Chain A
Amino acid sequence: MSALARAAGYRQVRVGPLSLRVRPRAAAAAMVVLILIAGGAAFALATGSLPIPLDRVLAAILARDVPPDVAHVVTGVRLPRVVLALLAGAMLGLSGAALQALTRNGLADPGLVGIKEGASLAVLALILAAPALGPGWRLPAGMAGGLAVALVVVLVARDLSGVRFVLVGIGVSWLLASALLVFITTADINDVETALVWLAGSLHAAEWTLIPALALWGVLGAVLLFATARAADAMLLGDAAAKGLGVRLRLAGALGLAAPVLMTAAAVSCVGSLGFVGLIAPHMARLVIGGGQAAVLAASGLIGAALVLLADTAGRLAFAPLQIPAGIVMTLAGVPLFLFLLWRRRDQI
């Protein structure tokens, strides 16, 4: 192991034939985030209109002898909600980290460039046009919608790493938002109410049936992103340098765009529009852990999961028994952070 790596804070861990470079500081930070997530999950499972002590929460999860109503609240209502929050948050965080690396723009957010609205529109069209099809179809429909919008934005902006990409993305998301309003103001009021609950970025409709498909896409996207993390590192040096290092630019670019788009669209199809997670999580990840793209991806996923869990729990408890959707809490917390990021780059844009 080179002295340079050691000087940068890396330490080598050997397990038999395998060796891994780790940074103790980053590992410690990751542990802190994990502990926060575990604590937050335990808190979310225990509190609500029916407070349940932690030992009984654990007993319910392990299917020990607890009253059926307590078991239902824990495993049927709160646990799927916590799992969905963690999964969707992790996917949004990963997408944001990948998109920011690809566009070399720290202000790129999957929600800012229209993917969110594209997925929402497709799912809404599905709910209104074919209500018989059931929630299982929402995921593929949303992913198709998000992908279509991303393609349109890329084609109109022509260049991923410019000002134009962000501005065109904002414009496209406004256009789709008003198309959403056409649906909301003309459709049958019952359909609209179903749709609105989901659109506000709320997790209260969480069910176990949503989770396997979402997890599948999450894992697939994560594998793609971690596999291309080294290419993404090289691409930060510029296209020519990356090409010289043996990166296949077109392939890396296509994967680096497709994976976050599909993951964002999948998450939005399940939890509605949850903005600012994909924007903020990568910045916090770089601030707290830093390192190469693989480390930033991992940290963004963890922090995204923690953020959504926190936002959902806060929205659930702040004005109980009334619930504020996690999307609104996330926006209220996310905007000041966004402005701080903007202020730090005030001389460059």
Chain B
Amino acid sequence: MSIAATPSAVAGVRLRAARPLLVACGLGLLVAGLSVSHLGFGARAIPASTVVRALVAFDADSFDHNVIVELRLLRLLAALAVGAGLGLTGALIQSVTRNPLGEPHVLGLNAGAALAVVSTLTLSPLLGGGLPASALAAIRPLVAGLGATLLCALVLAAASLGRTGLTPLKVTLCGVAFSAFAAALTSAQLLLDDQTLATVRLWLAGDLSGLSYGGLWAALPPAAVGLGLALVLARRLDALAMGDQVAAGLGIDVARTRLAALVSAGLLCGAAVSLAGPIGFVGLVVPHAVKALGVRDMRLVLPLSALAGAALLVAADLAARSLFAPRELATGIVTALVGVPVFIALASRRRP
């Protein structure tokens, strides 16, 4: 029997296959447009045509070109990288925990990363004279990633105790508790050590100012490893979404997949936190937005979450710089003001 397909069904299949492509194109255009506005906006507004010319045909004699490439491009690249990393982390964690409220901030990754970074700063003088600042900056992404992974593993382990498993309430409460503990340890160290407080005060609020190209390069290798691991895991995560038993039946080592996804999330989150400090709620909003656009396959959800995260963070950074201009807000505040209402909406939609 031949398979007869009506024209409209063919069109439907094509449309469904084309949808991720459309979403990707739309997000790509959004990121490009936001990036150009991000580069053009500032104490001195620079028209888009000049921005594009500075990027494609750099003129070392032009003041505007130098401002764009030396100062604003760094901040833009960091915003893109941090947004992409956090969007990916959120998608990974929501898929591994099958929990719509899963998010780096909720699960303690941010607090763990902040605690690890602050601890290395305050404890390094005790370890024989202290490490030079450049070495501390270079290992910061790895330290942050390690702290994030460890605290998140603790939260998940504590939340998965009991017969009911990882319920959203247990995950959130454990996340709140462990984050509060880590934050208290962080503040205690900062109160005892003025010098570290001065170094990390702005970074702790989740801010993109005060970056260096060195910090950006140091963050890229762990982020690249995390990204690669996430993409390799995508098919297994799809299987895991159908339940542990189904996944095991498909021949997938559930525990090892979870652990690998957690390590990947920790590396990505650590790289992001080392650049911009603990920025919350990008990872909560982005995967929901991507799924609302009709993308389900993890192999597409992951890269699209990275794109959407980048778009969201660039937009948040633009808002942080322009809402109270000439004063700047920390970028993390804007993402929280956008993200928490989404959390409340998701939480209150659940049946009690």
Contacts and interface: CB of A to CB of B under 8 A. Distances in A.
B184 A164 contact: no
Per DSSP, chain A at the interface is helix
B107 to A, nearest CB: 13
B205 A181 contact: yes
Among A166, A178, A179, A335, the most chain B Cβ lie within 10 Å of the Cβ of: A178
Contact of B174 (A162, A175, A339): A339
Contact of B333 (A182, A322, A349): A182
A156 B341 CA distance: 11
Given A186-B324, A335-B178, A324 B169 contact: no
Interface residues of A, number: 46
B43 interface: no
B337 A166 contact: no
A40 B352 CA distance: 43
A226 to B, nearest CB: 30
Contacts, number: 125
A342 B205 contact: no
B171 to A, nearest CB: 11
Given A164-B352, A349-B164, A185 B169 contact: no
A309 B72 CA distance: 51
A107 B348 contact: no
A128 to B, nearest CB: 14
A177 B341 CA distance: 13
B163 interface: yes
Interface stretch (A2-10, A66-74, A135-143, A325-333): A325-333
A324 B191 contact: yes
Interface string A303-332: 000000000000000010011110010011
A346 B330 CA distance: 37
A220 interface: no
A346 B161 contact: yes
A347 interface: yes
A38 B350 CA distance: 47
A102 to B, nearest CB: 15
Interface in A267-288: 275-276
Contacts of B336: 174-175, 177-178, 181
Nearest to B340: A175
Among B163, B174, B178, B340, the most chain A Cβ lie within 10 Å of the Cβ of: B340
B308 to A, nearest CB: 21
A275 B170 CA distance: 19
A251 interface: no
B215 interface: no
A185 B162 contact: no
B188 A324 contact: yes
A182 B330 CA distance: 8
Interface in B94-109: 101
A164 B183 CA distance: 25
Contact of A171 (B170, B188, B340): B340
Contact of B352 (A162, A179, A343): A162
Given A175-B344, A331-B181, A335-B178, A164 B350 contact: yes
B329 A185 contact: yes
B346 to A, nearest CB: 9
A186 B172 CA distance: 30
A329 to B, nearest CB: 8
A168 B169 contact: no
A186 B181 CA distance: 27
B83 to A, nearest CB: 18
A179 B336 CA distance: 9
Given A107-B173, A175-B340, A347-B163, A164 B348 contact: yes
A42 B332 CA distance: 45
Contacts of A203: none
A328 B344 CA distance: 27
Interface in B173-197: 173-174, 176-178, 180-181, 183-185, 187-188, 191-192
Interface in A123-160: 156-159
Contacts of B341: 171, 175
A346 B169 CA distance: 11
Nearest to B336: A178
A348 interface: yes
Contacts of A43: none
A209 to B, nearest CB: 26
B343 interface: yes
B232 interface: no
Given A167-B347, A338-B177, A348-B164, A185 B187 contact: no
Interface of B: 101, 158, 161-164, 167-170, 172-174, 176-178, 180-181, 183-185, 187-188, 191-192, 205, 280, 324, 327, 329-330, 332-333, 336-337, 340-341, 343-344, 347-348, 350, 352
Given A163-B169, A175-B337, A184-B205, 15 more contacts: A158-B348, A167-B347, A174-B343, A175-B336, A178-B332, A181-B333, A182-B333, A185-B205, A185-B333, A186-B324, A338-B177, A342-B158, A342-B174, A342-B177, A346-B164
11 contacts: A156-B344, A163-B169, A166-B173, A167-B169, A185-B333, A275-B180, A331-B184, A332-B185, A342-B170, A343-B158, A346-B161
Sort A-B residue pairs by CB-CB distance and give the 3 closest, nearest first: A346-B162, A162-B352, A178-B336
